[in-house]
Amino acid sequence: MKIRSRFKFSVLFLYSLLFSALLSAPLVYAELPEAVTTKKEMVVTTNPLATAAGEKILRNGGTAADAMVAVQSVLGLVEPQSSGLGGGAFVVYYDARKGKLTTFDAREKAPASATGDRFSELGFVEAWQSGLSVGVPGTPRMMEYVHDKYGRLPWRKLFKPAIKLAQKGYPLTGRTSEQVQDLLSRNAACDDRLYFRDPTAFEYFANADCTAKAEGTMMFNQPYADTLKKLRKKGADGFYSGDIAEAIAAATQGDLSIAGDMTVEDLANYNVVEREPVCLDYRGHNVCGMGPPSSGALAVGQILGILENFDISGDPLAVENVHLFTQAGRLAFADRGKYVADSDFVEVPVDGMLNKDYLATRAALIDPEMDMGTASPGVPPGVIELAAADVTAKNSGTSHVSIVDQWGNALSMTTTIESSFGNGVMVHGFLLNNELTDFSFSAEDSEGVPIANRVEANKRPRSSMSPTIVFDEDGRLEIVTGSPGGSRIIGYTAQSIMNIIDFGLDPQEAINVPHYMNRNGRTDVEIPIVDVTLDYDAEALALSLKELGHSDPSVPLEDRSVGVITQTSGLSIIQVVRKSRGHGHHHNNYGDEEEEDVNDEVIEEVEEADELVEIEELPEDTLTDNVSAKVSAKGASKNRGRHGYYKRHWRNHYRTTLVGGGDYRRDGTVGGR
């Protein structure tokens, strides 16, 4: 098994510039994680067991689609607060053989009986912890849909790592335990619970005295294993019909807090939608992601498109760079709130929002020396339908996966059950989502203008998930990125791209830079984390920003507010680095360092994890029915098959290295060979 579960530390780099006049000495940096390099394939997730499962599938000849199924199955077990079978996902997929990029919308849907006043009398917590918040899950259908289209290994083989972990046990992570305890502590009393009111979920995550099970507790989930076995045997239909579908409908309708209205018919009617990607050229790089109902690609694209009108260089933490990024964020979130919703229900001006002339006019609103305050939405070309703004910015429990396989196929997936532990109800070993709280709680504004993101029957709520794939100036795969983090996902993802393209950082260096953003409200900067992020004076940066008017230029300096807070991203980044064969020219930002196959040095570090997810070696001709290519023992193409042909082609004329970074703010882990 070749996977780096904890990276070796080294000094990343030193900046020579001062932060501002307030800083009297150069910044001092701690030893930080370094990037991981591989030569054939790579998977990055927020959990080492999930990464191990994906890496094993890739080693056995699986595609990025195959690895995704295994990874998602494990994530739903070992990181249940963030994603799972009871939730939804967005996938951006690059098919190297065809040179085609596509996206898959597996966002949860409102039941057929949903109406605009669904949450009008409820506060967020009441809505969250109820049956009304549960959307029809999309993840199982997406897993099957993407595998049918791009998978290579048999469907039944992909669930073995997760089934084995569920039956033989896995250690509860500290992050999961802490989040359980946080929710339990909010209850009025142990026998009067809103959080973990569901007896099954309570018994699984908590002790009888209403304390969370401790980090390291061995967890067993036979119902989850049984659910995966049913998926393995019957496909997604085994989830969307029969006893699992009946149990989901019964759990929502019988919620112990507020009953919901999902039916088995709602589940049977769920569909995944394949949509065109939304792309923007940023300084010669084609940045592509998920369009509506996600606001991700539009908001990330607007931030970058606005920044393209400025010189972004020097220190990523220089106050002038931070200021420009926050102003671009204000403008993007203003448009997001007004225009973005499910495009099957409302007309979203996608092209207009990313029009370069329009973005230049938005950029002209930025004063490099003063915060603009709350930004108003613009009027992009193509706006026809009037809609009121939904300016809510919700946090959520989410995870992100980035994969590149040996054929050059790439997958970027952000997957979620919305808030931490979804709506708190467990069915057949997995948690249900509370995704419908991403809708506006009001159907119209005070003047009676309909809100684009209002609740409607069978509609998908707006999302901030931003799975992204970037191509270089020659149209070649360059970056796969994305993050969890609620509406902060947009800032995390845009910053990761800016860090790589504008500041020349590698993926791990890009992750190590502390976050900063503005979602058209307060500007926030991240508290530095020892051995995880660059060390810097966050309070000094906050003061410098206040002097620039943040976050309200209309009030005196002493009344201005800049948040210095924790910003728990979970970035998973892969960069494809090419060096011309025999010419010594690098198509990257890293100079002429020797490529390092770090994975050979860390095999022993993951012996135990390898044993946990071990699956049988598959014959070289074990393919799904829709693939005719066969791969030799060394993996070289013998036929011009679906994936085998491109194994050589995507690396032709270049020495290709995959450079990966995982986010230590969570349990970011890189695997590959």
Strands 562-565 and 523-526: parallel
Chain-centroid distance of CA 451 in Å reads 26
Q: Buried b vs exposed e over 369-384: b needs ≥16 C-beta within 10 Å?
A: eebbeebebbebeebe
Tokens of 159: 């669930």
For residues 91 and 142, the answer to whether their CB atoms sit within 8 Å is: yes
pLDDT tens digits for range 311-349: 999 999 999 999 999 999 999 999 999 999 999 999 999
Average pLDDT, the chain: 87
Q: What is the rounded distance in angstroms from the CA atom of residue 297 to the CA atom of residue 287?
A: 8
**Of 9, 62, 2, 3, nearest in space to 404 by CA:** 62
Catalytic site residue 200?
no
Residue 584 pLDDT greater than 50, yes or no:
no
- Run of H or E including 289: strand 285-289
Average pLDDT over residues 501-530: 98
pLDDT on residue 384: 67
Average pLDDT over residues 225-254: 98
Average pLDDT over residues 348-357: 97
Residue 598 pLDDT greater than 50, yes or no:
no
Q: With bands split at pLDDT 50, 70 and 90, how would you rate the model's confidence at 30?
A: low
pLDDT tens digits for range 94-144: 999 999 999 999 999 999 999 999 999 999 999 999 999 999 999 999 999
Chain-centroid distance of CA 245 in Å reads 27
pLDDT on residue 87: 98
- Which 8-state DSSP code applies to residue 549? T
Helices 489-501 & 296-307 angle (0-180, nearest 10): 40
Q: What is the percent of the chain with per-residue pLDDT over 70, rounded to a whole number?
A: 83
Q: What is the rounded distance in angstroms from the CA atom of residue 237 to the CA atom of residue 289?
A: 28
Average pLDDT over residues 36-65: 98
pLDDT on residue 650: 55
pLDDT on residue 534: 97
Contacts of 243 (CB under 8 A, 6+ apart): none
Residue 19 pLDDT greater than 60, yes or no:
no
- Which 8-state DSSP code applies to residue 192? B
- Which 8-state DSSP code applies to residue 506? -
Q: What is the rounded distance in angstroms from the CA atom of residue 455 to the CA atom of residue 122?
A: 14
pLDDT on residue 385: 67
CA distances from 256 to 110, 131, 431 (A): 20, 8, 15
pLDDT on residue 348: 96
Q: How many residues does the chain have?
A: 673
pLDDT on residue 12: 25
pLDDT on residue 179: 97
Whole-prediction pTM:
0.88
- Run of H or E including 351: helix 350-353
- Number of Cα atoms under 13 Å in the Cβ half of residue 85: 32
Residue 220 pLDDT greater than 60, yes or no:
yes
pLDDT on residue 382: 87
Strands 426-427 and 410-418: unpaired
pLDDT on residue 594: 36
**Of 480, 461, 459, nearest in space to 469 by CA:** 480
Strands 9-11 and 31-33: antiparallel
pLDDT on residue 498: 98
pLDDT on residue 609: 38
Q: Which of 46, 63, 173, 398 is catalytic?
A: 398
Average pLDDT over residues 226-236: 98
CA-derived radius of gyration, the chain: 24
Contacts of 85 (CB under 8 A, 6+ apart): 76, 137, 139, 140, 227, 231, 239, 430
Residue 3 pLDDT greater than 80, yes or no:
no
**Strand, helix or coil at 68?**
helix
pLDDT on residue 230: 98
Written as one letter, the residue type at 1 is M
pLDDT tens digits for range 381-428: 987 666 777 766 555 679 999 999 999 999 999 999 999 999 999 999
- Which 8-state DSSP code applies to residue 385? S
pLDDT tens digits for range 262-287: 999 999 999 999 999 999 999 999 99
For CA atoms 190, 194, 200, 201, give the dihedral sign: negative
- Run of H or E including 287: strand 285-289
**Strand, helix or coil at 350?**
helix
Q: What is the percent of the chain with per-residue pLDDT over 90, rounded to a whole number?
A: 81
Average pLDDT over residues 465-491: 97
Residue with tokens 């019957």: 234
Residue with tokens 């048999």: 154
Residue 240 pLDDT greater than 90, yes or no:
yes
Q: With bands split at pLDDT 50, 70 and 90, how would you rate the model's confidence at 54?
A: very high
pLDDT tens digits for range 521-563: 999 999 999 999 999 999 999 999 999 999 999 999 999 999 9
For residue 528, with 0-12 CB atoms within 10 Å meaning exposed, 13-18 middle and 19 or more buried, which class applies?
A: middle
pLDDT on residue 46: 97
Residue with tokens 């904890």: 6
Residue 43 pLDDT greater than 70, yes or no:
yes
Q: What is the rounded distance in angstroms from the CA atom of residue 252 to the CA atom of residue 104?
A: 26
pLDDT tens digits for range 612-658: 333 333 333 332 332 222 222 222 222 223 333 334 455 566 789 99
pLDDT on residue 383: 76
